[in-house]
Amino acid sequence: MTQRTRKLFGTIVLLASIAAWCILAGALYANFLGAAPWWALLLFFAVAGGAWFFPATWIIRWMAKPDEV
């Protein structure tokens, strides 16, 4: 697979994963943290936002691999 094709698929996967991550975090908030204190919500969304970094890094590294000769 060429780098150009990986970038196309990677971009689509990144956008889909952002949407899925937001839906998951929102569902967790709505179902379990609705009445939590402000500091717990701040901690939850900071951790949820930071945790998305790891899957995004894997996708971006895969996209940036050079073409095989």
Asked whether residue 14 is domain-assigned, the answer is: yes
Q: Which domain holds residue 11?
A: 3-64
Asked whether residue 34 is domain-assigned, the answer is: yes
CB of 8 closer than 8 Å to CB of 68: no
Contacts of 36 (CB under 8 A, 6+ apart): 44
Number of domains composing the chain: 1
User: What whole-number distance in Å separates Cα of residue 47 and Cα of residue 8?
Assistant: 29
pLDDT digits (tens, 9 = 90+) for 27-54: 999 999 988 999 999 999 999 999 989 9
Asked whether residue 69 is domain-assigned, the answer is: no
pLDDT score for 8: 96
pLDDT of 64 strictly over 90: yes
pLDDT of 68 strictly over 90: no
CB of 65 closer than 8 Å to CB of 6: yes
